[in-house]
Structure 1
Amino acid sequence: MPKRPRGFVFHDVPVEQQASSLPSPSSPTTHRHTSYTSHLSNISASTTYYSLPSHSKRSRIADEAPTASADGSFDNYDLFDELAAEGADADGLYFLDAFEDDRHEPRKRTAGDHPLREWIPEIPEYLNELIRLEGRCGMATDLCAKCQADGNLFRCEDCHDLSLYCGQCTKDVHIRHPLHRISRWMKTHFRRAILRDVGIRIQLGHPIGEACVNPVHSVKDFVIIDVGGIHEVALDFCGCDRAKARTTQLLRARLLPATSVYPKSAATFRVLESFHLLSNQSKVSAFEYYSTLARRTCNTGIDPPKDRYVTFLRLIRMWRHLKLLKRAGRGHDPAGIAVTEEGSCAVLCPACPHPGKNIPDDWESAPLETRWLYTLFVGLDANFRMKRKKVSSESADPGLNHGYAYFVETTKYKQFLDMFGTLHFEESTTCNNHDALKLAHMKGSQGTDASGIACVECTRHDMKRPSSIGDLQKGERYVNMDYLFFSSMSRHSTNTVAVSYDIACQWSRHIWERLLQYEHTFDWEHGTITFLIPKFHLPAHQTSCQTAYSFNLTINVGRTDGEAVERGWAAVNPFASSTKEMGPGARHDLLDDVFGDYNWRKCTQLPRVLLTKIKEAVEERNEQMLAFQEFEAALPVEHVARWKKAVEQWEKDPAQRNPFVATRPSITLAAARLRLAEEEAAAIASGESITVHEKASTSYMIAAGLEFEEQQRRLNTDVSALGQHSTDLQRAKIQERRNMLQRQLEAWADIQQLYMPGVATLRAQVLASTQNSSPTSAENFPLLLPSTAFTKLLCNPRLLAHEWELRFGQAHETLDDLRRHLRLRTHMYKYKDRFVRGQRENTRARTTIATVEAKVAADADRYRKAYAALEALATPLETSGWNIALRPLLPQDIKGFEEDKNISRDRVQLSWIWKTPRIERSGAVRAGGEVENVDEAEDTQEALRIEWCKSRARASRWWEECYLLLEEMRRVMAFYTWQSLWWEDQADRRVDVDDALAEGLFAYAHRQAELHRDMREFCRKSWAGVQEYTRIANAAIGLPDDTSEITL
């Protein structure tokens, strides 16, 4: 795992500063050793300095060097990243790798840095050794290496021994390895042979080496599929009086029979284990794997093995089902697998809350301040890649799992859809026209039995939930999603749930009314349910949804994004091409196994994932809380108190006014254009409209001029960026843009002449005064809008008013863009300083930052032009008060919230751009420049209020994330403790079995118990320093140490 940037770095400091530049012996260096001691009230540090000789390449010159030991309080310190837990004692002694110097000299390269390059000269020798193995490897005689007998000699391709043996000796050696591959020496070369040729017969029902008095020969070509290939073997069943069934004899030899009656084929457990793991990890298909085994047996096609591909498909399906039952402990139940409950074979998420397993028994009576920690986070989504064609049927291809794992039980699901599928639940939408809603009313795809699948999974840890996946018939109908959601909630759920769904704003509107219509189909007592929309999908919703269903603004959800269910599809999509051709039972069984393996891999990654997340969360929490405190310190106290009260009321009761939403409509250029267009429409309707062009009105003419002004600015920027060595293609594209803009400007100038008579003459004069030998390019074409030309031309006052309206909207909109880009610039600088290392990464980061800087500069230039126009128009229009909200933009004004790091917190001065519109005075400005009176005691600075609320929300979400992660760590270890005890209880549940089976049941249960204890201890070891780390981080920003209630 790569190390994160340190909070601070200790550097070597030379004791004596070299005054001369002449070469001199290396000066000694002083190394600082700091030890930390944790007390109940604070953290103290003790520092000692050691003077040691310095290496010549590592010595550095410093201005001054400490010479004494120092003890001090740990009140103000930088937050460190790494706490080494391994080796820490119970008192909380942690090791900080504080002596890592980021200025090490480059390491000298060795041969090990370029192994392939070093190997190239050795290629001939390697090739010679490979070819040498084609012969007898130095064996000079044609006699058996063991008994010296003459005759046919064989060598095993799978044994480590390269010697050649006669047929009898080969048989004796391989009595315990009947599936090895052998070759026969043909005097000139080796030729493939099989152990059956030397007399090997596999005897079942008896220990190896013990003869059966009544062996029963199997078919002559009994086929065994193994990792080494597909083998035709001679096999004998036991025919003694007390012999077991043939299938039992094969199973006890670790061979899975293909049929239960007169088996003629089998697969070894190891080939099934190999493919089982490989298919889930690398998504290899059964056909590709079987074809590999067939080619490993015969890669020429001359003597191919007997085709057992269909048999292999059946065997792997049987194997998956058996492993599912075994791992869920179904073999330990005295009642047998017939009483297996739905969802009981699923791999549960250890970090999610499970009543009776990993959360306190009295969790429901916990105080409200901590009860939110037991919230279950789930997400819903559909995947329309996972189609299934109309092939086979439930009767021809029944499933083996019967709803035991992740797919719901098919019969109940279909009965529910038949009963309630005709009810019309999908009412008209109150949000945007989302695809999920449109697809819900569409017919299923032609020729498909299932148009996709839908699922419910935990969004904190990306694991599929039991009994939560089902097929879709046509789109994401509410009836399908309701069944899957309530089926999932009926198992392993608390009554406090946060549900994320990309159309939650619509699906949740009448969910409880729909539940009543389902007539007690589900047994779940819901408590507090919070419906949210995943963060990536939220911008596609209307404005009201973006605040009411936002993870960022909702309390007690931490930094959950709700998108885990989308990410989870990546693991199953590679199976879409194969499962669409399967029958319904085979498809469900395969996907159940895929989801089970996916969940298990997530379980094994939890120690690393949660540790990484807590490190990030603690850092981000401290950073966001400090940023919020700095921001809040620069605001009026009375305003902050009023905002805090408002946001707390909204968090308790969402029906209250949302402080994150602007109460006044935003001022934009588009809004100004719409207002002018509506005024013109009213004038046309009343017959008062005065136009001189059939298509372009005055407002349209000026708005087009503003667009051309922006195009000229962009073209100027691109022309300046060409440079002396630009290519022909680059210059051609610029010239094509110039030509297009020139034609548009000439057409627009004709319209402008109609509304501003004399402007063409004025433009000719301007061009004549600035004309040089070359014609004026399009980017330098003088637009002469009313704000520029009214001093030299007689302009209609309506033209001035229209440009004022548009410029006023343009100025406010540009300020919004500037603030947004400044926030982005601040974030990118922080990200670069913290995470970017190396020349290539720094170059990419600087390039990206340069792009943002260019946008900031463009915003500033656009605003200054708008402001200059407003300033020019204010006098003839006799408009006042507009410059309360808008001011001249100076270079020192262009800065973000946190760009005054050199100023103390109590003296931070925010730029005016973050405080507009200002209303501390007696008035505020409307879009048209009119002044309306506003009571300072009742109104607030809206832009600041919204930004303060967002800053507070960011800090709160990271604070919640820290507590959630600590609670999840505790739950993981508690779950493994519960699971180990559960397995121990399964050890001796069955009493009606023979001693051998009883011992197997006992051993497997205790192996599973030990496995889960080991996983718990691994988590404990991985997280040993986390609680102390968070306590120190809390002290760094003055938070109380209230994490002690969560014990890891």
Structure 2
Amino acid sequence: MDLNDAPDEPFETMEMEFFHDLADYVDAHKKRKRTAGDNPLREWTPHTDDWLAELLRLEGRCGYSETDCAGCGSEQSPFRCRDCFDVRMWCETCVLERHQDLPFHRLETWQDSLYFVKVDLKSLGLRIQLGHPSGERCTNPKRAFGDDFVVLDLSGIHQVALDFCGCTQALSRPTQLLRARLFPATPTNPKTAATFTLLRHFHLLSNQANVSGFEFHTTLARLTDNTGLDPPPDRYPSLMRMMRMWRNLRMFKRAGRGHDAAGVKATAPGECAVICPVCPHPGKNLPEDWKSAPPERQWLYRLFIGIDANFRLKRRAVSSNDRDPGLNHGYAYFVEETGYKDHLRKYSDLVQETTSTCSNHDAVRLVNSKGRETTDATGIVTIECTRHDMKRPCAVGDLQKGERYVNTDYIFQSSLKGSDHVVLVVSYDIACQWSVHFWERMNKYDPQWDAAGRRFIFLIPKFHLPAHQASCREDYSFNYTKYVGRTDGEAVERGWSAVNGFSGSTRDMGPGARRDMLDDVFADYNWRKITRLPNSILTKVKNIVELRSNQVLAFQAYDEKVDPALKAAWTTQVEAWEASDGASPNPFAVTRRPITMAAVRLKLAELEADELKARTQRRDQNAAPHATLDDLISPYALISQGLEHEEEQRRLKEKKADLGSRATDLQKGNVVVARNALHRTIEAWQAVQHLYMPTVAAHRSRDASRSTASSLAEDLPLYLPSNVIELLMPVDRKLQDIEWELRVGLAHDALEDIRRLICVKRKLLEVKGRFISGQHHNTRARGVITRCDKKITQARAKYHACYEALVRLAPALDKTHWRRDTGLQKLDDNDVRHMSEPDPTKEDEQTEGTRTISWIWTTKGARSGDDDEDEQEMLRIEWCQARARAHRFTEEGQLLEEEMRRVVQFYEWQASWWRARMDSWEGRSAEHREGLVAYARRQADLRVSMKALCQKAWASGPFWLSQGARL
């Protein structure tokens, strides 16, 4: 609208009307969305007929007549292109002229004024001329194999009429194809080629979506002919060969090897790997004085690496390295095969200890397993950075039998060649075993391998740590180790999810093809991680501030309540342990033994022995000895037998409940026999109980006289001291003390049974999921797991009985802080879980760093004396853990700030490295030289743009990290 035609109204009035109209539009749009149920498909459904009609309209000529060529107006114009944007009709001359530079488009012709049928450009006489500019014909063209040349394009598989240039200055046929952006399948007399567009598309599609070459080739064949009437020629082997060459060339190109006059043969090991820009790289993203930096700064330059094996990436025993040596000879991630195999042969006699001093890890146990005759590689082992989840150069190798140390050691050494790092944090799920004789093995391989005298800190990833024994959980924990931040060591495990999808397509490959393929997969994975760095690091920065404040404030609140003298002693102890690499006593370790039933019985038996000895001495002093109750049965034996009868009653009730409605006479008879035997033993025990507890006899007599009282053995009341308290009957304090001690021991025994059975059940579920298939075997496995659940239920019932008895006894015995002293708590359903399982009732504690372990795994047992040593140990451990959490979150903030700086500096170095490549070589020709310079400049500018993106994303990062509480 012309401004001069605007109405003479105040601007405010026009503005208000505009906003009213806008509000009406928004309300109407919201109403439409509510009507459609916020579902675009519902909104589209009423238009189905209209859209279908448009699709069918395109099957006709769309109003264009075949007697009117869109180009020259010719009356004979029956052709239309299926791939061009224009849907008009063309004559043969015009359509060939239009597609001289689009030789792989698909045409269709209006047949007999009835419908369109496919027709290819070759049948219309189109010839593809190589070696000359478009439209210029060669004076001496050389036809390609009788016009039977095959080109693979995204539109399908085409048989084309192709002419090579035959002039005196003609280039080789592969070169002519490459200059036309056609990739030949062979270097000699090629008969097949693929467009660069197709290879780029499939390269990205295979890495991103794990599409196999066979599926992709089948898709191209169906695009060409989906009826089976005229199938295209099979070029699947050619496609796979071209893709291997394409991946290899792209790897060399991106690594700058094309800018070296020495060629690809001068490539150094690992030079073609995509390296992590966040990790510390001396000379690239570290300060010049990083080695001499003070300790409070030097820890920021540590290298965090992790080791893990993947047993899904197997390779069957097909082909060989002689027949399929591969194209990447240790240039990227896989180590050079010849040197690797020489090492394995040389140290094949290396004896690996298969008896674990910790848990029965599969990585150690499977070393000597059998059944590997048909498998050449049982998996791979890899080394990568554990903070950023990227594979390191020359850090991947095949395994033959389990995670043998001889394999892992070579890969580990290979990944550190040329490394100048002073301190390395190494995480491995079997670090507690692998690190024991680490230096002995390394010095055996090469006494000079670590001339720099580096320091290695061996830890176990956080998710794997709960499966280890208690000493490992204290000595190899990321949570307790100084200067590791919130690193969890599980990055290697996370990366397998993106790689496991290739296990099926690489299982039957030759050794070289498989290594080349996985090298490319790892490179793509690293690159994807790099492109996501701006967002991933920014997310960590945003999350760490609040979490750090919470942990620091919690520690400071706890720290203020601790006695200064104890705090000073604990600080000295934990700092000494941190500085000694574990040589000093571990302040996180539990040193006292929890009380068990066996220990309680031993203690009471010793007390009873002392009493017997004292009674014998008294008798010797008196001339006329007299008999006592203790001569008949000791109070310890009385209460102990009563508890045993209580347990037998529970078992008999469970056995009766398991009978069911279809129980056999034999099953019923077994229950009756057990009931009668229990009844007799209880009656004999009751006779002695009445002597110690006379008031119980009268009470029991009244209960027996009631018609409603059950006379079955499993229902007979035992009237133990804990039961008598509720009835307000007097009872000997000594009997209460004895039951208290026995109940505490039984409760801890029940907890130990629960912990053991939970671990057994977890292992059974793991074995069932991994190795058991078929209805028969699954039924048997479920039966075993059901029996395990039943035993857990029995142990829980035993614990509940003991806990309730202790609750009743505690007031009578004046045990105010008995829960703290014994380490016993009420056992809820959500408490009965494995230590690595999160609390199902707490949705905000589901991660490894924030989850809470059930108290059954952290209880310290009963106090063993009258002093405060046990209580102080519990306070010390809790104080050390709170301190460690606060320090780890504080360190994480410092690490994130350092990592942001390193990324920016790395891109600066990489940009300058590519600029130096512009002048590194004159090239083979002026055209080649121009291409070298253009590619190097583009890569340099790309790094500058990536640097700018990171700086923009992290502009407020230092400010956020400076907020909140921190140590």
**TM-score in same-fold range (> 0.5):** yes
Corresponding letter in the other structure for 2:542:
K
**Counterpart mapping for 1:123-522 below 5 A:** 123-151=48-76, 153-186=78-111, 187-219=113-145, 220-426=147-353, 428-443=355-370, 445-492=372-419, 494-520=421-447, 522=449
Deviations 1:683-735 (A, max 9, x none): xxxxxx9999xxx99747626736978999x99xxx9xxxxxxxxxxx999xx
Seen in structure 2, the aligned counterparts of structure 1 residues 125 and 108 have a Cα distance that, compared at 3 Å, is closer
Corresponding letter in the other structure for 1:664:
R
Query: 1: distance between equivalents of 2:293 and 2:816?
Result: 59
Query: 2: distance between equivalents of 1:364 and 1:341?
Result: 26
Query: 2: distance between equivalents of 1:443 and 1:757?
Result: 63
**Counterpart mapping for 1:545-694 below 5 A:** 545-653=472-580, 654-667=582-595, 672=600
Corresponding letter in the other structure for 2:739:
E
Seen in structure 2, the aligned counterparts of structure 1 residues 385 and 778 have a Cα distance that, compared at 3 Å, is farther
For 1:755, the equivalent position in structure 2 comes to 685
For 2:835, the equivalent position in structure 1 comes to none
Seen in structure 2, the aligned counterparts of structure 1 residues 799 and 245 have a Cα distance that, compared at 3 Å, is farther
SS of equivalent to 2:319: coil
Query: 1: distance between equivalents of 2:677 and 2:730?
Result: 22
Query: 1: distance between equivalents of 2:717 and 2:124?
Result: 99
Contact 2:676 2:713 in 1 (8 A): no
For 2:808, the equivalent position in structure 1 comes to 868
Seen in structure 2, the aligned counterparts of structure 1 residues 802 and 121 have a Cα distance that, compared at 3 Å, is same
Deviations 1:912-967 (A, max 9, x none): x99x999xxxxx9855xxx55x4x6x886121111111111111110111111111
Query: 2: distance between equivalents of 1:276 and 1:888?
Result: 60
Deviations 1:649-693 (A, max 9, x none): 111122222111122112356865798899999xxxxxxx9999x
Deviations 1:60-79 (A, max 9, x none): xxxxxxxxxxxxxxxxxxxx
Deviations 1:1006-1040 (A, max 9, x none): 1111111111111100000011122233xxx376x
Contact 1:224 1:267 in 2 (8 A): yes
Seen in structure 2, the aligned counterparts of structure 1 residues 121 and 106 have a Cα distance that, compared at 3 Å, is closer
Contact 1:676 1:699 in 2 (8 A): no
Deviation at 1:639, TM superposition (A): 1.9
State the TM-score, normalized to the length of structure 2: 0.78
Contact 1:203 1:235 in 2 (8 A): yes
Higher helix share: 2
Query: 1: distance between equivalents of 2:60 and 2:166?
Result: 44
Mapped pair 1:1014 → 2:950 = no
Deviation at 1:151, TM superposition (A): 3.7
For 1:988, the equivalent position in structure 2 comes to 919
Query: 2: distance between equivalents of 1:762 and 1:590?
Result: 86
Deviation at 1:424, TM superposition (A): 1.5
SS of equivalent to 1:449: strand
Between 138-147 and 259-268, the greater mean CA deviation after superposition:
138-147
SS of equivalent to 2:962: helix
Deviations 1:185-225 (A, max 9, x none): 11101111111122211111111111111111112221100
SS of equivalent to 1:394: coil
Query: 2: distance between equivalents of 1:633 and 1:604?
Result: 45
Deviation at 1:142, TM superposition (A): 3.2
For 1:978, the equivalent position in structure 2 comes to 909
Corresponding letter in the other structure for 2:461:
P
Query: 1: distance between equivalents of 2:503 and 2:122?
Result: 41
Deviations 1:785-833 (A, max 9, x none): 4533599999999986763323234678999999xxxxxxxxxxxxxxx
Seen in structure 2, the aligned counterparts of structure 1 residues 779 and 741 have a Cα distance that, compared at 3 Å, is farther
Query: 2: distance between equivalents of 1:680 and 1:589?
Result: 76
Query: 1: distance between equivalents of 2:408 and 2:512?
Result: 21
Contact 2:744 2:862 in 1 (8 A): no
Corresponding letter in the other structure for 1:147:
C
Query: 2: distance between equivalents of 1:208 and 1:617?
Result: 60
For 2:471, the equivalent position in structure 1 comes to 544
Query: 2: distance between equivalents of 1:676 and 1:321?
Result: 77
For 1:845, the equivalent position in structure 2 comes to none
SS of equivalent to 2:183: strand
Corresponding letter in the other structure for 2:590:
A
Mapped pair 1:705 → 2:646 = yes
Query: 2: distance between equivalents of 1:524 and 1:888?
Result: 53
**Counterpart mapping for 1:54-65 below 5 A:** none
Query: 1: distance between equivalents of 2:237 and 2:631?
Result: 83
**Counterpart mapping for 1:70-109 below 5 A:** 109=34
Deviation at 1:429, TM superposition (A): 3.1
Contact 1:808 1:870 in 2 (8 A): no
Query: 1: distance between equivalents of 2:684 and 2:191?
Result: 96
State the TM-score, normalized to the length of structure 1: 0.72
Deviation at 1:601, TM superposition (A): 0.6
Query: 2: distance between equivalents of 1:1001 and 1:374?
Result: 35
Seen in structure 2, the aligned counterparts of structure 1 residues 757 and 304 have a Cα distance that, compared at 3 Å, is farther
Aligned residue pairs, count = 829
Structure 2: any 5+ residue segments left out of the alignment? Answer: 1-19, 21-29, 610-629, 663-667, 690-695, 755-795, 827-854
Deviations 1:467-524 (A, max 9, x none): 0100011111111010011111114451210001111111111111111111358466
Contact 1:811 1:867 in 2 (8 A): no
Mapped pair 1:113 → 2:43 = no
For 1:965, the equivalent position in structure 2 comes to 896
SS of equivalent to 1:318: helix
Query: 2: distance between equivalents of 1:444 and 1:677?
Result: 54
Between 390-399 and 862-871, the greater mean CA deviation after superposition:
862-871
SS of equivalent to 1:480: helix
Query: 1: distance between equivalents of 2:802 and 2:216?
Result: 63
SS of equivalent to 2:532: helix
Out of 710, 722, 737, the residue aligned to residue 787 of structure 1 is: 722
Contact 1:917 1:941 in 2 (8 A): no
Deviation at 1:756, TM superposition (A): 3.5
Corresponding letter in the other structure for 1:216:
K
SS of equivalent to 2:398: strand
For 1:893, the equivalent position in structure 2 comes to none
Seen in structure 2, the aligned counterparts of structure 1 residues 455 and 174 have a Cα distance that, compared at 3 Å, is same
Deviation at 1:635, TM superposition (A): 2.5
Corresponding letter in the other structure for 2:583:
A
Query: 2: distance between equivalents of 1:707 and 1:979?
Result: 75
Contact 2:65 2:89 in 1 (8 A): no
Deviations 1:20-54 (A, max 9, x none): xxxxxxxxxxxxxxxxxxxxxxxxxxxxxxxxxxx
Corresponding letter in the other structure for 1:197:
S
Mapped pair 1:805 → 2:741 = yes
Corresponding letter in the other structure for 1:645:
T
SS of equivalent to 2:963: helix
For 2:883, the equivalent position in structure 1 comes to 952
Between 746-755 and 672-681, the greater mean CA deviation after superposition:
672-681
Deviation at 1:636, TM superposition (A): 2.2
Query: 2: distance between equivalents of 1:799 and 1:710?
Result: 25
Contact 2:652 2:671 in 1 (8 A): no
Deviation at 1:341, TM superposition (A): 0.6
